[in-house]
Amino acid sequence: MDEVRLAPKPPSGSQPENFPLDLAVGGESVTATSVEPLAWDRFTRTETDTWGTSGSGHDWREVQGDPTDRSVDGTSGLIVLQSSPSEIRFQEVLELASTADCEFLLSVTPDQLATGASYLPGVFFRGDRWEYYRCRTVLGTDGSVGLQAVQVTTVIGSAVTTPYSYSGGTKLWLRARMDGLRVRGRVWPDSAGSPEPAAWQIDQAMPTGPNPNGSVGLTCSAFAGNTNTNPQFAYDDFEITTPQRFTVTRSVNGVTKDHLKGAGVALAQPAHVAF
């Protein structure tokens, strides 16, 4: 198996009818037989005091909070803010500690409306000790749904308010990505009348940080002053959609060579349209 990184693109599933697929990488032709997100999890297992190992084979590491805050119930990865809700719980995807640009797609479902202060579930990029970037949702006590771009705990730019609302049991989708020093995100409810927005709701240039790459994963917390009793957040449908992981047969055209990280990948035989 060889890993090939493509330029950022909308995610797509590994549909068998699309394979095999011939690709060109720097003069070498390869044949792809499958493709999947860099990491993914559907949480179809049960775990106590941990999230265990993801469907893609990556271990989850719990950082901060109590181990009993975490579990997996066969359908979702759960985080409960049993105490100190403003303490950020991190769920780090291990084996991906040198990730730079990437895109997340996931769902999160709070079991209660926030009281006292907003909930802040989200994702983090380029983590290294206590330096990281975040794209987080802001789930208000009035049922509002917003987004913020954050460096550690400092909000960068303006918060964005969306037209959506939530209550206990509302499933929300979050897509967030970081390219260079640009954080983008969009959030929307899981309902037939609310498709994924076409445009990014937040698009924020971030300050230069010490980490050109680092660890990635999920976060969960609330603003200080939150008064909910044991609010629970169910995370599901987790994917790092970009970069992607391809399984390929190498050197199908007889060319054998090494490729630099970030080398361009294209269809070996693209379709041409006559004018």
* DSSP, res 171: -
**Residue 68 domain-assigned (yes or no):** yes
Domain count, the chain: 1
pLDDT at 9: 37
> Domain of 112: which CATH number?
2.60.120.200
Q: Which pLDDT score, from 0 to 100, does residue 12 have?
A: 46
Question: Do 103 and 227 touch, CB atoms closer than 8 A?
Answer: no
- Predicted confidence at residue 159, as pLDDT, reads 95
Prediction pTM value: 0.87
Q: Is residue 198 part of a domain?
A: yes
Domain extent at residue 55? 37-247
The β-bridge relationship of strands 131-139 and 122-128 is antiparallel
Q: Is 38 left (phi over 0), alpha (psi -120 to 50) or beta?
A: alpha
- Tell me if 161 is assigned to some domain: yes
Give me the pLDDT at residue 15, please.
Answer: 67
Please indicate, yes or no, if residue 271 is contained in any of the structural domains.
Answer: no
Output the pLDDT for position 14. 58
**Closest by alpha carbon to 90, among 240, 269, 218, 248?**
218
Contact 124/133 with Cβ under 8 angstroms?
yes
Is position 234 within any domain? yes
Inside any domain, residue 23? no
**In 3D, which of 262, 239, 220, 266 has the Cα closest to residue 100?**
262
Domain contains 42 = yes
Please give the Cα distance from 109 to 87 (Å, whole number): 19
Residue 94: inside a domain: yes
Residue-level pLDDT at 160: 98
Q: Per residue of the chain (275 residues), what is the pLDDT tens digit?
A: 344 433 333 344 556 777 788 888 888 888 888 788 899 999 999 999 999 999 999 999 999 999 999 999 999 999 999 999 999 999 999 999 999 999 999 999 999 999 999 999 999 999 997 899 999 999 999 999 999 999 999 999 999 999 999 999 999 999 999 999 999 999 999 998 899 999 999 999 999 988 899 999 999 999 999 999 999 999 999 999 998 877 888 888 888 888 887 788 888 888 777 77
Q: Tell me what pLDDT residue 203 has.
A: 98
Q: What is the pLDDT of residue 119?
A: 99
DSSP 78-107: EEE--S-TTSPEEEEETT-TTB-SEEEEEE
